[in-house]
Amino acid sequence: MFLSMFMSMLILIIASVVMFLASLLSKKTMVDREKMSPFECGFDPKSHSRMPFSLRFFLIAIIFLIFDVEIALILPMIMITKFSNLMIWSYTSMFFIFLLLMGLYHEWNQGALEWSE
């Protein structure tokens, strides 16, 4: 018990020190408008350097990643049916699928699944 608490504190301290050093060393010393602006043949840039990004596309990508994690959690449930109690397995499976369906309903109700308006 003491060893695991000591290791947790040590990891926390090391991570904090590394984050502090990274933020300290990553600061740019020169804050000059000319050096910070993009170079375009000596003239000010006429357009933005980045293209606009669709937030809806980002949300759909996040939902897809969550769906992949859900599939990775559902697949082992099929494999353990023969090793576990059928009643407990079915209650657990139904509860998990119910939670997934409630999340899907919430996303649908909030309009996150509609691509165009």
Per-residue confidence (pLDDT) for residue 110, from 0 to 100: 85
Query: What is the overall mean pLDDT for the chain?
Result: 81
Per-residue confidence (pLDDT) for residue 61, from 0 to 100: 85
What architecture (CATH level 2) is domain 2-110?
A: Up-down Bundle (1.20)
Dump pLDDT digits (tens) for 1-35.
Answer: 888 999 999 999 999 999 999 888 876 655 666 66
- Lookup: tokens for 70: 């859900």
Q: List the single range of 19-28, 35-44, 87-96, 102-111 with lowest mean pLDDT.
A: 35-44
* Distance from C-alpha of 47 to C-alpha of 69, rounded to nearest angstrom: 39
Per-residue confidence (pLDDT) for residue 70, from 0 to 100: 87
Amino acid at 75: L
Domain ranges of the chain: 2-110
* Distance from C-alpha of 93 to C-alpha of 68, rounded to nearest angstrom: 17
